[in-house]
Amino acid sequence: MRVGGIVMELRKLRKLNENIKIKGLLDSKFKEYGRILVNYNFNQIIDYLVYKTEIPEKGNIYVASIEEVEKFNITKVIERAFYGEMPVQIGYCNGKNSTLNGLEYHKGSEINIAVTDFVLLLGNIKDIENNSYESSKIEAFYIPKGTAIEIYQTTLHFAPCKANKGGFKCIVILPKETNLPLDNKSVATAQAEEKLLFMKNKWLIVHPSRKALIEKGAYVGIVGENIEIKIN
């Protein structure tokens, strides 16, 4: 890691975002949400995102599965090391997002690899009460370029927030078929946690300001500020 650059970037982001302290991955608090992955060579996937994907002019783009990438040898390593030989999908999220907007979780860990620097806003599912979550409980972490992390299944998360004007690129690895459309979505009869089920293996709550997701059937459950990470 480029230690000096990371320290400088953290200082800058903290100065601009005094309302929410942005922590580094070495902060002990990150252990509640995930772990840093070392001794794995993800360069082939990173190179794919660098040279074959773009950052949109506005908003985010999410691609759940890239068949070409899933044929790389590293895929079998990932499946065995992190998912007990269960099949995975390798995709990406690129964009210029800077706000919380929503929080999701999956039954199974998610692996993120930072192709660029970005900030993740994280929470814990234990803090969801009656399908409601206070945004004041969110913690922010700066993820430096080239870092791979495992996000535990008990961790609330959503799209990264950009750390610079150019936007972000993030590799997203999940159990196979996560985020595909539901075969049967019956909100009328759903009970408790089931009301949050938005797509396959994706439980989601959103902020009331996130109209686009609400119109698609997302559950409004975030109370408080729609946190924004400022970069200038």
Confidence of residue 185 (pLDDT cuts 50, 70, 90): confident
Q: Does residue 52 fall inside a structural domain? A: yes
Per the domain annotation, does 184 fall within a domain?
Answer: no
- Cβ–Cβ < 8 Å for 135, 91: no
Asked if residue 160 is part of any domain, the answer here is: yes
Written as six digits, the tokens of 215 are 């119109």
Q: How confident is the model at residue 178 (pLDDT cuts 50, 70, 90)?
A: very high
Instruction: Note down the domain range covering 61.
Output: 3-97+107-176
220-230: average pLDDT: 98
* Mean pLDDT for the stretch of residues 105-129: 98
Model pLDDT for residues 1-37, shown as the tens digit of each residue: 467 688 899 999 999 999 999 999 999 999 999 999 9
What is the spatial distance between Cα 188 and Cα 163, in angstroms, rounded to a whole number?
40
In a domain, 144, yes or no: yes
Q: CB neighbours of 7 closer than 8 A, spacing ≥ 6?
A: none
H/E element, 38: none
Q: What is the pLDDT of residue 1?
A: 47
Looking at residues 49-74, what average pLDDT do you find? 97
Residue 9, in any domain of the structure: yes
Residue burial 21-35, b: 16+ Cβ < 10 Å; e: rest? ebbebeeeebeebbe
In a domain, 189, yes or no: no
Single pTM value for the model: 0.95
- Distance of alpha carbon 171 from alpha carbon 72, whole angstroms: 14
Segment (H or E) for 82 = helix 74-83
Count of domains observed in the chain? 1
Is 224 domain-assigned? no
CATH number, residue 54:
2.60.120
Domain assignment present for residue 200? The answer is no
